Amino acid sequence: MKKLIGLCIVVALLSTGAPVAAKKEADVKAPPVLAEADRATPDGRLVLSNLYQREIETSVFVDPVARTPYGGTGWYGGWGWIRGIENNNQDVIAARLVAAAERNAVPVRTALSDFDTNTLALATTKAALAKPDWFQARGVTGSSDVFAISKADFLAQNAAAQIAFVRYRYDLSPDFTQIRVLAMLSIERQQLGKDGKPAGQPVAIYRQNIMSIAQMRAPSYEARDNAKRWAADNGKLAKAALTAAFGQFERLIPFALGLSQAQLTAFNDKNSTKAFAGGYYGTLVARDADQPDAVLIWKNGLVHVQPVG
């Protein structure tokens, strides 16, 4: 996630409507490159696309080394220094920052209440996976919110040599200058018995995370002001940001799935050309031809940052 200066604790606040299943499912440990031998699947792949939330989430940063005699929120809102930090009471600090972030998020959530992010996420997955000829998505099942299907249930109910999972989360950055969408990709090889039904534990053969960030142009230093700007005109800018951020996955997901070991090695080379974008510093992969100030970097995963507004 965001690279920070100094010692920081990241506190991610999940929306109150997010189902418990989303928090309990463990991340799959697997290589970030799909082996050549696993690319071909005669019967195609089944796909589960999940969006585990009802509304946009918030996140805060707590810096335990900061000191101030004042309370309230200061530099970029969510980074505000809170009285009592001298005692290193991180739980109290985090709780206050979370409360402030939640208050600031109210107008954004209200403005986005009529925006169908679930449909956008599913359409994004279908469009992205239709592009690589070799992927062969046999079907894409979408689930979200309280209707979210767990990976275990989906595997138990479906038989295929390989099953792919595309999970999404989206949130506001602590300073409310960004709307960020995270796509978590994974592929598992399923063990099938003679009767064609699932047998044994599936084997994780691929995993990669992709971050797509829509960054507000000329933001305020106050998070609440940025929130008002996202929410203005029935959330026009926030909706445009979500549409733009999800839209990038139509090219980023195929790119991530097609990465070779040679490309990955080059991305991780300490002598590679670097770039700083959206709070991330990593290997420069590309700059958008149609938007020169939009950039794609590699930071233990693909991170795309584009300006909006």
Domain-wise residue ranges, the chain: 17-56+114-308
Residue with tokens 């200066």: 5
pLDDT reported for residue 61: 79
- Each residue's pLDDT, cut to its tens digit, for the chain (309 residues) gives 333 323 233 334 333 333 333 344 555 589 999 999 999 888 889 999 999 888 999 998 776 554 433 333 333 333 344 444 445 577 778 888 899 999 999 999 999 999 999 999 999 999 999 999 999 998 899 876 556 677 777 777 777 889 999 999 999 999 999 999 999 999 999 877 777 676 778 899 999 999 999 999 999 999 999 999 999 999 999 999 999 999 999 999 999 999 999 999 999 999 999 999 999 999 999 999 888 899 999 999 999 999 999
pLDDT reported for residue 17: 32
pLDDT reported for residue 106: 98
pLDDT reported for residue 220: 97
pTM assigned to the model: 0.82
d(CA 45, CA 139): 7
Cross-strand bridge partners of residue 302: 210, 298
pLDDT reported for residue 241: 98
DSSP one-letter code for 37: G
pLDDT reported for residue 146: 53
pLDDT reported for residue 175: 96
Question: Cα dihedral sign for 247, 295, 219, 97?
Answer: positive
pLDDT reported for residue 73: 35
pLDDT reported for residue 214: 98
E strand or H helix that includes residue 166: strand 162-172
